[in-house]
Amino acid sequence: MNIQAIRVIYKYEMLRAWETILQSFISPVISTALYFVVFGAAIGSRIQTVDGVPYGVFIVPGLMMLALLTQSIANASFGIFFPKFTGTIYEVMSAPISFIEILLGYVGAAATKSFIIGLIILATAGFFVPLEIAHPLWMLSFLILTCISFSLFGFIIGLWADNFEKLQVIPMLVITPLVFLGGSFYTIDMLSPVWQTVTLFNPVVYLISGFRWSFFEVSDVSVELSMFMVLVFLAGCLITVWWMFKSGYRLKQ
């Protein structure tokens, strides 16, 4: 294992984040604060509690997941797409390092940035609502696994995309709608039986449900099923990245 190569890629990606701190860290926090103002104040005044949890508190895990998913994908996809776009990725690939070391460097940095954003948003939420975490270890487990899984997914998007438009298609037209329809701001028990069944085909439901359970012990599906779905998604992303590097998909000129 070439630790030095991993450290160089990781440090470069983290340095790029600190150089664009307004876009990388401050912007997601401001957006989340606006969600608190709009949903917590406007809608929260009409919906007092959900499953015994005050609505302003109830939406915290969903807002965190919204930020984590979008930022993990954005950080990882741009991180690998830009060197591919400029051609510097071929210098990295020609170096005596394996795809695992490349993956650890890029995905590790993207997941770290998303994890920091998640913690900042969690701290920000404390200024708006009284927040308690029933199961801190479960919360951290879901937080870390989500950051890693969707950073891997973003890495896949970055390898797949051959222009900046494709880089934005899946996050904007697929991920964001799935998060909004995955119970970020409501429980699926509020839906009709037909739509409850349809919603269970949305993989984001399991992420948000498990994450919310770690806060309030309230969930739409069991926490074990939520964790299982996260691990399945993580394994699927790892297999896909392995295949892309092995076959040279979108990496060979």
Please, what are the averages of pLDDT over each run of 10 residues along the chain (253 residues)? 84 80 71 73 68 83 88 88 81 80 91 90 83 91 94 92 83 85 84 86 91 91 92 94 84 63
Per the CB < 8 A criterion, the answer to whether 117 and 28 are in contact is yes
Angle at 188 between CA 143 and CA 218, to 5 degrees: 50
The verdict on residue 64 lying in a domain is yes
The answer to the question of residue 19 being in a domain is: yes
Q: Is residue 253 part of a domain?
A: no
| Pairing state between β 49-50 and 53-54 | antiparallel
Domain that holds residue 76: 3-247
How many domains does one find in the chain? 1
pLDDT of residue 85: 81
**H or E, element range at 10:** helix 3-19
Q: Per the domain annotation, does 195 fall within a domain? A: yes
Per DSSP, the chain holds a count of helices (H) and strands (E) of 13, 2
Q: Is 75 within a domain?
A: yes
CB-based contacts of 22-31 (< 8 A; 24+ apart in sequence): 24/75, 24/113, 24/117, 25/113, 25/116, 25/117, 25/120, 28/67, 28/70, 28/71, 28/117, 28/121, 29/117, 29/120, 29/121, 29/124, 31/67
List the beta strands (DSSP E) in the chain: 49-50, 53-54
**Could you tell me if residue 162 is inside a domain?**
yes
Does residue 54 form part of some domain? Answer: yes
Whole-structure pTM value: 0.89
Containing H/E element for 29?
A: helix 27-35
**Which pLDDT score is estimated for 142?**
94
CA–CA distances in Å: residue 56 to residues 62, 69, 170: 11, 21, 29
Confidence (pLDDT) at 16: 78
Residue 33, pLDDT score: 76
Residues 6+ apart with CB under 8 A from 211: 61, 64, 65, 139, 142, 143, 146, 226
CA 240 from chain centre, in angstroms, equals: 18
Which CA distances in Å does 141 have to 18, 62, 171, 176, 211?
25, 16, 23, 22, 9
Residue 252 within any structural domain of the chain: no
CA 85 to centroid of chain Cα atoms:
24
